[in-house]
Structure 1
Amino acid sequence: MFTRHFLGTAVLALAASGALAAQDHITIGMALEPPNLDPTGGAAAAIDEVVYANIFEGLTRFAPDGAIVPGLAESWDVSGEGAVYTFHLRDGVSFHDGSKMDGEDVVFSLERARTEDSTNAQKALFAGIETVELVDPLTVKVTLANPDGAFPFKMAWGDAVILAPETAEQAATAPVGTGPFAFDNWTQGDSVDIARYDGYWGAAPALASATFKFISDPNAAFAAMMAGDVDAFPNFPAPETLMQFEANPMFKVIVGSTEGETILSINNKSGPLADVKVRKAIAHAINRQEIIDGAMHGYGTPIGTHFAPHNPDYLDLTGQSAYDPAMAKRLLEEAGQADLKLRLALPPPAYARRGGEIVAAQLRKVGVQTEISNLEWAQWLEQVFKGKDFDLTIVSHTEPADINIYARPDYYFQYDNPEFQALMVELEKTAEPARRTEILHAAQKMIADDYVNGYLFQLAKTGVANSKIEGLWENAPTQANDLTGVRWID
């Protein structure tokens, strides 16, 4: 376990006044506590928000602008018409326990992720792999079943980080990675501490340590920022207070985009919801702008399918499910569901709890009654995501370019369309950009036509930070609080 070291009584006195402590330690606010700290064994975005690029690293990684850049692989070659990737690993990389990281760890991690009994939440990332071979200690060759130009992108996900076989089983509670920060301590229900790893292979971060503080209540988050108990809240849960921070020179407001498609998820196999007419009625009962204004205070971009508007392959389909309560009522009558009653399960984020109340009111106007259940995050993961025991829920899918989840019939909203699955298989095999765009447009249109879910808005990244902090990500190309470039300025 790694602990912070202090420099004596004089320094402690100055630190108490904020004179020195702020120079190399930061406290980051987060609305949700991760259920565990293993990004290869859990679906919660909060896991990556703590560990991605801080504790764990992959062969490649996302840069702040979304570009895919080298990670533990300093370079890679592509052969076999795009089906063979040879990764050249960095020399001199060690895990936080001092053991050497080499090709054997890469082979172990990729094989572990793609085994039949793997608990990886994104096993589809590894489905195209046929073989993983150790060429030499610093060279690994991955052969795919088909050419895949997106393979470096897939290896940048938090689900594809590299672990050592000796410590992989403890990653959930005491992770050992190769990143610039090592795990220090986890106070359940409160915070996670990390500390700078002196043996890091790359440039040392400016921060000596960091604390991720979990504050789910928006009012408490506001109070913590104002009191200085939290230095930055990259995904601030109380957007209605941002104007107060903007007017205060002690703070800066950082507004950007995320990969978070916020959707009214529909259980496609739950009784009347199996009928596309019912799902279409629900979609037309939803007033997106009212939800954005009421739950997010205007922050958010309306979407009509599961795709980020900032992506060059985005297709604007919002008109296809435009707010039309009269149509919604008519469709419900045609489906014989004029008195429909549904369960609406809401996880803790403010966008879900506040948005859920607005959605319930909108559905009530077209004759759909909802029974709201407010679930804690672990309960939501167990009941909704794993157990599929729900009718409706609201959640932001923050994984990048993840429309391929609709090709998984066992995914929690249980959409099973062989035509869509075939599209994703074709996308996997296609490297030509224009054809990939055509396929992605067809995929977006198909799930919109099937009204798989109610597509609400792209989650904005609304952050607040002490004005003397720089280097926090403005946009979120993946779910991360990357602290490698963060520092305090005078």
Structure 2
Amino acid sequence: MKMTNLKLTASAWALMATTALAGNDAITLGMVLEPPNLDPTGGAAAAIDEVVYANIFEGLTRFGPDGAVLPALASDWSISEDGLIYTFTLRDGVTFHDGTTMDAEDVVFSLDRARAEDSTNAQKALFAGIESVTAVSPTSVAVKLSAPNGNFPFNMAWGDAVIVAPESVETAATAPVGTGPFTFVEWAKGDHVTMARNDAYWGDAPALAKATFKFISDPNAAFAAMMAGDIDAFPNFPAPETLAQFEADPRFNVIVGSTEGETILSTNNAAEHLDDIRVRKAIAHAIDRQAIIDGAMFGYGTPIGTHFAPHNPDYMDLTGNSAYDPELSRQILKDAGKEGITLRLMLPPPAYARRGGEIIAAQLRDVGINTEISNLEWAQWIEQVFKGKDFDLTIVSHTEPADINIYARPDYYFQYDRGEFQELNDILSVTSDPAQRAILLAEMQQIIAEDYVNGYLFQLAKTGVANAKINGLWENAPTQANDLTGVSWSE
């Protein structure tokens, strides 16, 4: 039976938010995209985690600002000699924001829910190797795997693996209840999400009493809001062409780092024309990556030739495999009898997609491929492209960490199906030796590059702008998050 502490009403939370001290106790952050919902266990959009990860929701483990896997709701864990059983020790005295106790039963519920047959979790593969989850005691959970997986604590650090409670999960999409250092206050759709400091938090109390995430998709409006002081920080600033102006202004800090965001020309490998590797190869050689980086990102971004982050020690530079060669593209299309084909290019709202899409359309037109561009809002993109697979080409940054395993899912939205790659991924999932993993990852990177599964463009840079008095914002983005736990204002 779960124990319940005194609960605060919604009106009390709202009062707490409105009476939170301004200035050194409050922060307003800008975000380009509004999340479609606030449940990280039931949605694929990066914007969900950007609001709730480490702020409202927590998992057994978590990512630190350097990408390290750290303890979170689990203070530590042990692994059986055969590598099949992970036993997690839970922190004692943790409560959800509604006052209910967080214990082993909630971990069992969360992991079983994520791996259930009818699960809507966007990263269901993270839980596929779980055979059973057992509550050993209120503060101890044993997870039995079907095969050894040295990467399991890493998997549990994803936003998709946060711990939720059966009492509140049904409203998580609109009124999330977690265990984190901030509690949900309100969501004014189309405008902002507000959260307040959780005074009952089990860990160190955050310096901030209130945080507001303001949604501003237009680059010009984002610039104006920063200059006017309406926004205190914009961790992923959408107008990189203005960064030099901020750098010259002592009121601001420009924060440039790296992300896990492989920005790709996603390709529907099951669509007409695109199920032919010759067409995909022609597209790859028609792309001038540097022109896209310069034109869409104003020089910020690192060219990539496969789906892997350049800052990862196992990265292979395969850009030469798809080097810009429009004459080769024209010849390939001619030999394949595919000259003059028309493809649908669906573009979500981010500037890298809208600006980059126009540049890529011109590059494809130059080699004899026509495009019909459709600008989609984020919710429409999720439904039509990601879920419905009703597209030919699209541009998106895959910001999940170390996610090359998505190419082992034939039903994933770009519908790539190669048994050899799937077998390598299966071997990788049970391999813990770093040298062996590097060999497997190298082969996997080469396979998808040589199959021209997608057009690999660039690694998304993290270009942020913040008030110069703000400390503790992440420079790099090892996961899609705006972690406020260490953010404070200077005196």
Question: Is residue 54 of structure 2 the alignment partner of residue 53 of structure 1?
Answer: yes
Partner of 2:166: 165
Question: Is residue 260 of structure 2 the alignment partner of residue 249 of structure 1?
Answer: no
Partner of 1:229: 230
Q: Residues 94-133 of structure 1: matches in 2 within 5 Å?
A: 94-133=95-134
Counterpart residue type for residue 267 of structure 1: N
Partner of 1:456: 457
Deviations, residues 176-196 of structure 1 (Å, cap 9, x unaligned): 000000000000100000000
Taking the aligned partners of 1:385 and 1:167, their CA distance within structure 2 comes to 27
Partner of 2:208: 207
Taking the aligned partners of 2:438 and 2:104, their CA distance within structure 1 comes to 35
Taking the aligned partners of 2:447 and 2:328, their CA distance within structure 1 comes to 21
Partner of 2:287: 286
Counterpart residue type for residue 116 of structure 1: E
Partner SS state of residue 352, structure 2: helix
Taking the aligned partners of 1:4 and 1:92, their CA distance within structure 2 comes to 26
Partner of 2:143: 142
Q: Residues 269-284 of structure 1: matches in 2 within 5 Å?
A: 269-284=270-285
For the Cα contact (< 8 Å) 2:17–2:185, is it kept in 1?
no
User: Percent identity, aligned pairs only?
Assistant: 74
Q: Residues 173-184 of structure 1: matches in 2 within 5 Å?
A: 173-184=174-185
- 1:5 deviates by 3.9
Question: Is residue 75 of structure 2 the alignment partner of residue 74 of structure 1?
Answer: yes
Q: Residues 82-481 of structure 1: matches in 2 within 5 Å?
A: 82-481=83-482
Q: Residues 431 and 374 from structure 1, CA distance in 2 versus in 1: closer, same or farther, beyond 3 angstroms?
A: same
Question: Is residue 4 of structure 2 the alignment partner of residue 3 of structure 1?
Answer: no
Counterpart residue type for residue 153 of structure 1: F
For the Cα contact (< 8 Å) 1:285–1:328, is it kept in 2?
yes
- 1:4 deviates by 4.7
Counterpart residue type for residue 91 of structure 1: D
For the Cα contact (< 8 Å) 2:17–2:195, is it kept in 1?
no
For the Cα contact (< 8 Å) 2:267–2:393, is it kept in 1?
yes
Deviations, residues 171-229 of structure 1 (Å, cap 9, x unaligned): 00000000000000000100000000110000000000100000000000000000111
Deviations, residues 398-451 of structure 1 (Å, cap 9, x unaligned): 000000000111111000111111111000111111111111001000000100
- 1:127 deviates by 0.3
Taking the aligned partners of 2:279 and 2:41, their CA distance within structure 1 comes to 36
Taking the aligned partners of 1:229 and 1:334, their CA distance within structure 2 comes to 56
For the Cα contact (< 8 Å) 1:4–1:209, is it kept in 2?
no
- 1:334 deviates by 1.4
Taking the aligned partners of 1:419 and 1:430, their CA distance within structure 2 comes to 17
For the Cα contact (< 8 Å) 1:4–1:195, is it kept in 2?
no
- 1:7 deviates by 9.7
Taking the aligned partners of 2:161 and 2:22, their CA distance within structure 1 comes to 34
For the Cα contact (< 8 Å) 1:40–1:159, is it kept in 2?
yes
Counterpart residue type for residue 222 of structure 1: F
For the Cα contact (< 8 Å) 1:40–1:113, is it kept in 2?
yes
Greater CA drift, 78-87 or 220-229: 78-87
Partner SS state of residue 220, structure 2: helix
Partner SS state of residue 272, structure 1: coil
- 1:3 deviates by 2.1
- 1:84 deviates by 1.1
Counterpart residue type for residue 253 of structure 1: V
Taking the aligned partners of 1:4 and 1:85, their CA distance within structure 2 comes to 42
Partner SS state of residue 457, structure 1: strand
Aligned-CA RMSD value: 1.1
Query: Which consecutive residues of structure 2, in runs of 5 or more, have no partner in the other structure?
Result: 1-9
Partner of 1:33: 34
Deviations, residues 248-267 of structure 1 (Å, cap 9, x unaligned): 00000000000000000000
Counterpart residue type for residue 279 of structure 2: V
Partner SS state of residue 426, structure 2: helix
Taking the aligned partners of 2:277 and 2:136, their CA distance within structure 1 comes to 51
Counterpart residue type for residue 173 of structure 2: A
For the Cα contact (< 8 Å) 2:17–2:210, is it kept in 1?
no
Deviations, residues 354-402 of structure 1 (Å, cap 9, x unaligned): 0000000100110111111000000000110011111000000000000
Partner SS state of residue 260, structure 1: strand
Taking the aligned partners of 1:340 and 1:183, their CA distance within structure 2 comes to 49
Partner SS state of residue 274, structure 2: helix
Deviations, residues 32-65 of structure 1 (Å, cap 9, x unaligned): 0000000000000000000000000000000000
Q: Residues 338 and 7 from structure 1, CA distance in 2 versus in 1: closer, same or farther, beyond 3 angstroms?
A: closer
Partner SS state of residue 333, structure 1: helix
Deviations, residues 12-41 of structure 1 (Å, cap 9, x unaligned): xxx9xxxx6221000000000000000000
Counterpart residue type for residue 128 of structure 2: A
- 1:81 deviates by 2.3
Greater CA drift, 74-83 or 93-102: 74-83
- 1:6 deviates by 8.1
How many residue pairs match? The answer is 480
Taking the aligned partners of 2:237 and 2:179, their CA distance within structure 1 comes to 29
- 1:134 deviates by 0.8
Question: Is residue 22 of structure 2 the alignment partner of residue 21 of structure 1?
Answer: yes
